[in-house]
């Protein structure tokens, strides 16, 4: 499969992700979280909340590097440094263009959003507990692929609305590379089963 996205070093990204399959899943994940992340950055900037702004641009830096958008990752790194220096003037000057560059990737990433909203598997407490424990281990080992796989398996189960909401939150945390939060939610779900 020849993936050609402007500004993305596909070879480097596939190496980072571990496989082409994981890379393409990552592209779909980034597509899904992009709007929320951009809104958060803009919102923190408009509130002049530099601390949270810096956390968000740091996360976007990591995300861009993961998908091979190296130049964009560097741009977010610059914003992160400016945030740490509390340089609001430069942040306000540079942020809109960097966010627009990120937005411009969106149409290229859309085809990678997984369309497999297939039939759900019947809920099985033991299996779901096993998968959650695997997810926690994967997070502890910084094994991105295993963490993503575990979440995908969890999302394939039929479950009540409360649990479905928690699984969605878990999916977002793993997608956003917020591993500490993901671990916390996984433990909460385990405790509630």
Tens of pLDDT, residues 57-115? 999 999 998 899 999 999 999 999 999 999 999 999 999 999 999 999 999 998 888 65
| Amino acid 184: pLDDT | 92
| Amino acid 21: pLDDT | 86
Domains and CATH numbers, the chain: 10-112 (1.20.120), 125-192 (no CATH)
| Amino acid 20: pLDDT | 87
pLDDT at 117 over 60: no
Terminal Cα-to-Cα distance of the chain (whole angstroms): 41
Average pLDDT over residues 20-46: 91
Query: What token pair was written down for 22?
Result: 């994981």
How far, in Å, CA of 153 to CA of 15, rounded? 23
**Are the beta carbons of 91 and 50 closer than 8 angstroms?**
yes
How far, in Å, CA of 23 to CA of 49, rounded? 33
Choice between 143 and 95, residue whose per-residue pLDDT is larger? 95
| Amino acid 82: pLDDT | 98
pLDDT at 119 over 60: no
Phi/psi region, residue 107 (left: phi>0; alpha: psi -120 to 50; beta: rest), is: alpha
What confidence category does residue 1 fall into, taking pLDDT thresholds of 50, 70 and 90? low
| Amino acid 139: pLDDT | 87
What confidence category does residue 118 fall into, taking pLDDT thresholds of 50, 70 and 90? low
């Amino acid at each position: 499969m020849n993936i050609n996205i402007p500004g993305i070093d596909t070879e480097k990204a596939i190496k980072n992700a571990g496989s082409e399959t994981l890379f393409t899943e990552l592209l779909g994940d980034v597509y899904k979280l992009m709007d929320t992340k951009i809104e958060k950055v803009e919102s923190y900037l408009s509130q002049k909340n530099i601390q949270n702004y810096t956390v968000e641009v740091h996360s976007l830096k990591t995300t861009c590097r993961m998908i091979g958008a190296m130049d964009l990752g560097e741009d977010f790194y610059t914003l992160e440094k400016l945030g740490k220096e509390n340089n609001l003037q430069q942040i306000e000057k540079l942020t809109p263009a960097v966010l627009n560059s990120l937005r411009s990737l969106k149409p290229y990433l859309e085809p990678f959003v997984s369309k497999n909203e297939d039939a759900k598997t019947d809920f099985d407490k033991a299996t779901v507990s096993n998968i959650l424990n695997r997810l926690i281990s994967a997070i502890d080992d910084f094994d991105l692929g295993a963490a993503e796989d575990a979440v995908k398996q969890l999302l394939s189960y039929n479950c009540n609305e409360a649990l479905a909401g928690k699984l969605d939150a878990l999916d977002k945390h793993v997608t956003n590379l917020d591993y500490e939060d993901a671990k916390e939610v996984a433990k909460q779900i385990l405790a509630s089963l």
